[in-house]
């Protein structure tokens, strides 16, 4: 469960989100649609508890932005696979090690790490690229690497920030279908996009954001 109650966040120089109320139940698949600068990334960062609201509260299962202790934030983030808009891949390690990092932190065995990383690289269609460094991958491949890194933890929630921004239409569509498969196994998906054409007509909930304000459908 993800719930935002009357949440406002504004950056020092302006911009952000205001008075957002939103609830996503377990296993929902929702799109967050809005133009560039409307507050999509801000909203996702609030759920990931990288930002904390100045007004209102964010709840993700038992974690509450009002009283979460800093040492509990890693536990919250184990539940959440975050696909960052700007990738956040580490340039000094290859694709395999970038994806494996999340599992080392959790403490998986070496064999399990190899199995899981290999599987998630295949899931996003990057087989054969495991030993490539980020700068040896195209923009679209880096984006899919970022998706694989989010999925490898087998998270309860996936937050995907414009994960198709650098993909061609066919690959974009495949990614949306991959997220649908993952959703069918019970994972909650919230995917931000500015591309309405890509997501319309697939039967998912659409949450519209404009100028930091959310309109529910």
Q: Calculate the CA 40 to chain-centre distance.
A: 11
Residue 38 interacts with Mg ion (CB under 5 A)?
A: no
In the bound state, the residue with its beta carbon closest to Mg ion is 41
Task: Please report how close the Cβ of residue 31 comes to ligand ADP at its closest, in angstroms.
Answer: 13
Which residues, at least 6 apart from 59, have a Cβ–Cβ distance to it below 8 Å?
Answer: 1, 2, 3, 4, 5, 65
Q: Is 41 in the site for Mg ion (CB under 5 A)?
A: yes
Would you say 25 and 198 are in contact if contact means Cβ atoms under 8 Å apart? no
**What letter does residue 93 receive in the DSSP assignment?**
S
In the complex, residue closest to ligand ADP by CB: 15
Q: Which listed range, 32-40, 66-74, 135-143, 164-172, lies at the site for ligand ADP (CB under 6 A)?
A: 32-40
Q: Which of 16, 56, 134, 163 binds ligand ADP (CB under 6 A)?
A: 16
- Does 143 bind Mg ion (CB under 5 A)? Our answer is no
65 binds Mg ion (CB under 5 A): no
Cβ contacts of 203 within 8 Å, gap of 6 or more? none
* Total number of residues that touch ligand ADP (CB under 6 A): 12
Q: Are 198 and 172 in contact (CB under 8 A)?
A: yes
Tell me, by CB under 5 A, how many residues bind Mg ion. 3
Nearer to ligand ADP among residue 32 and residue 95 (C-beta): 32
Burial readout 60-84 (b: 16 or more C-beta within 10 A, e: otherwise): beebebeebeeeeeeebbeebbbbb
Nearest distance, CB of residue 20 and ligand ADP, angstroms? 12
Query: Which residue stretches of the chain are H helix?
Result: 40-47, 73-79, 95-106, 110-123, 139-151, 169-184, 196-199
Considering only 36, 109, 135, 217, the residue that binds ligand ADP (CB under 6 A) is 36
Interface residue list for ligand ADP (CB under 6 A): 11, 13, 15-16, 34, 36-42
């Amino acid at each position: 469960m993800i719930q935002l109650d009357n949440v406002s966040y504004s950056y020092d120089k302006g911009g952000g989100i205001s008075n957002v109320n939103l609830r996503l139940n377990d296993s929902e698949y929702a799109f967050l649609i809005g133009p560039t600068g409307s507050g999509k990334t801000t909203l996702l960062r609030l759920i990931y508890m990288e930002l904390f609201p100045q007004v209102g509260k964010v709840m993700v299962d038992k974690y509450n932005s009002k009283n979460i202790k800093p040492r509990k934030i890693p536990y919250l983030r184990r539940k959440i696979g975050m696909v960052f808009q700007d990738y956040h891949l580490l340039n000094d390690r290859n694709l395999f090690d970038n994806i494996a990092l999340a599992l080392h932190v959790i403490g998986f065995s070496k064999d399990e790490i190899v199995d899981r990383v290999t599987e998630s690289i295949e899931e996003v269609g990057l087989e054969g690229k495991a030993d490539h460094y980020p700068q040896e991958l195209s923009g679209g491949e880096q984006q899919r690497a970022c998706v694989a890194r989010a999925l490898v933890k087998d998270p309860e929630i996936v937050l995907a920030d414009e994960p198709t921004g650098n993909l061609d239409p066919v690959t974009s569509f495949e990614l949306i279908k991959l997220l649908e498969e993952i959703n069918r196994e019970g994972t909650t998906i919230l995917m931000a996009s500015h591309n309405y054409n890509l997501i319309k007509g697939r039967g998912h909930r659409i949450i519209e954001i404009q100028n930091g304000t959310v309109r529910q459908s």
